[in-house]
Structure 1
Amino acid sequence: MRMAIIGAGGIAVCMAKTIAEMDNVEAYAIGSRSQEKADRFAEEYGFQKAYGSYEELVKDENVDLVYIATPHSEHFANAKLCIQHGKPVLCEKSFTANAKQARELIAMAEKAGVFITEAIWVRYMPMLQTIRKELESGSIGEPKLLTANLGYVAADSYRMRTPELAGGALLDVGVYPLNFALMIFGTDIAKVTSTCTYMDTGVDEQNSAALVYEDGKMAVINSSVLVFSDRKGIIHGTKGSMVIENINNFESLTVYDGEHKEIKHIERPAQISGYEYEVEACMRALETGALECPEMPHAETIRVMDILDGMRAEWGIRYPFE
């Protein structure tokens, strides 16, 4: 599969390094708004083609899949451009800036018969199935409460601070604890209550939310760009608890009994970076002619964006372009 990347920043570098080690994936084209930057990227990471505009890249008939690695504010326009030129899309999380954009993009892709999926990498990792299988085994009893957090010190980042780029902790960091809750407890949510603190630019710097489920389960999630958190996801059950190390790239799970004694520990399998799983999922989908990945269906992407929109509405945060 000849893969192209739109955007030549840090996330693009991670993907470029990953596909360089993958079988059956070719680092084909890089697109940047600067020809000089595209040329440097192509030379450093072994891409065949370097384009100084996204429009040039999507016109290349040899591109099989485009990975969008631009700021959240640009995802809608970038993905729309790809769809208009019939190019399958792997779009970095958060999928778009809001649910309206997500619905429009997905409807456009489905009408055009073009594949598109969200690159929320944890959804595609084999460790997720290991976690679910362990929960189904009953080792911690009936799960009733979940806590998850993710925090990095990144408040000084221009992208993170800028409302015009859909900055803030929520879309960049908060999407992981939310996805963790949805992956583990499902989507039958009765109520979401949330709060945040603000940067001087008006976007959120820290946030917390409580998700109450119809059957009484609760998920409490936190994210921040002010602190380094422990990144843990903890699932509390009637017989014990399960601790997941690093909800941003599952590292291990540990099961504890009701007396807090460790009874099982499972490490994740060897991986390149973790990005490879979403690329492999795209390859499987494209081979069968599917327009979405079962690991992250379109309906689930829209559901996540709806919840994020609801949280921002509660905080009174709107991006300038909305």
Structure 2
Amino acid sequence: MSRLNGRRAEAEAQGLKVKVAILGAGGIARHMAETLTKMAADPSYSGLIEPYAVASRDGERAAAFAAEYGLPVSYGSYDELLADPDVDLVYIATPHSLHAEQGIACLRAGKNVLVEKSFTANTAQARDLLAVADETGLLCTEAIWTRYMPSRAIIDDVVASGVIGEVQSISANLCYPVAGKARLHDPALAGGALLDVGVYPLNFIDMVMGGHDDVAIDRVETSMMPYETGVDAQNSTTIYYANGVMASAQSSMLAASDRGGYIWGERGYIVCRNINNVEAVDVYGLDHRPVAHYDVPDQLTGYEYEVAAAANAILDGLGECAEMPHADTLRIMEFMDVLRGKWGLRYPFEG
């Protein structure tokens, strides 16, 4: 058990902070390092977290990374991170196919984990990881930042206000031309558009629908265009809910899109600019004239919300974050398994 789990009063009395280590030293790890540095300098977060360490399989790379971002500790192996008793929270920033194995190792070593999306490569891995989290009593939460951002509450409140009437249809897309990144077209690393960018439109839809297991799906129509390696290069999915709502999601690693999220109702519609990091929310009436505009709060990088949620959960002795409970993570993983099943897409390690 981490030294701080469930010990908020003690931590506050002694001025102790949640020490965060980053497992992996790639691009998204750099975004997290930047976030931690900014959080440590911001009065809103400086008393909560402490940027502490980075681990890589290359000691020189880890040392250079630590020096660049002012982290006091670097490790030339993941085992060194696991052996450090001062680490409270590990942010796992490696390819999807490694998340379950590395998350389990961290939990068994007494470290809480914040696991970059997608949580794992498939539902079986997700269940294995969450079983160990339950066994150890440590925090294990998925780092899909849109679930933690203030924009989520803004959208929820606008929908709940009834200004557009009953929601009838939802559309969300996220497409980036990123096929040049080797991991994204490697089946062994669970590459493809779905797990990397397609997970965002699905989460957007799930959040609008209330994020509950009792929102039944009647049927799903889906298709994908394969990359030359067999992973999905582009995909499109239509979801038909039992309550009459129809939702569509598109993602691609070949093209650029407007990244829009659209919620259509009986009396108007909502436009969310950039579902990957909502910049603004606009409401329109039946005459297509603007009804309301909502700006989102200024942010450090956007990752600070998930880090703060994880750190607070640790101090409160919780095993999951309210913003992304295990049930929601499993529902999304299960749905992505359904899509890949319909496409006939299996990763090599799935047999």
Structure 1 residue aligned with 2:246? 218
Q: Aligned partners of 1:42, 1:156: CA distance in 2, in Å?
A: 27
Structure 2 residue aligned with 1:126? 150
Deviations 1:196-216 (A, max 9, x none): 000110000000111111101
Deviations 1:40-93 (A, max 9, x none): 100001111110111110110110100000010111111011011010000000
Q: Aligned partners of 1:108, 1:299: CA distance in 2, in Å?
A: 15
Query: Pick from 15, 23, 34: which aligns with 1:6?
Result: 23
Give the CA deviation at 1:159: 0.7
Structure 2 residue aligned with 1:116? 140
Structure 1 residue aligned with 2:51? 27
Q: Secondary structure at the residue paired with 2:188?
A: helix
Give the CA deviation at 1:190: 2.3
Q: Secondary structure at the residue paired with 2:263?
A: strand
Structure 1 residue aligned with 2:8? none
Structure 2 residue aligned with 1:85? 109
1:40 counterpart = 2:61: no
Q: Aligned partners of 2:241, 2:143: CA distance in 1, in Å?
A: 26
Structure 2 residue aligned with 1:197? 225
Q: Identity over the aligned pairs, expressed in percent?
A: 51
- Normalization by structure 1: what TM-score? 0.99
Q: Secondary structure at the residue paired with 2:346?
A: coil
1:246 counterpart = 2:274: yes
Structure 2 residue aligned with 1:289? 317
Q: Aligned partners of 1:112, 1:129: CA distance in 2, in Å?
A: 31
Query: Pick from 264, 268, 283: which aligns with 1:255?
Result: 283
Task: Please say which of residues 235-244 and 283-292 is displaced more in the overlay.
Answer: 283-292
Q: Secondary structure at the residue paired with 1:89?
A: strand
Structure 2 residue aligned with 1:18? 35
Structure 2 residue aligned with 1:273? 301
Q: Aligned partners of 2:316, 2:63: CA distance in 1, in Å?
A: 34
Deviations 1:244-299 (A, max 9, x none): 00100111100000010011111110000110000110112111100000110011
Q: CA RMSD in A?
A: 0.8
Is the 8 Å Cα contact of residues 55 and 81 (structure 1) preserved in structure 2? no
- Amino acid in structure 1 at the alignment position of 2:179: A
Q: Aligned partners of 1:57, 1:192: CA distance in 2, in Å?
A: 43
Runs of 4+ more than 4 Å apart: none
Count of residue correspondences: 322
Q: Aligned partners of 1:243, 1:178: CA distance in 2, in Å?
A: 16
Q: Secondary structure at the residue paired with 1:61?
A: coil
Q: Aligned partners of 1:298, 1:247: CA distance in 2, in Å?
A: 22
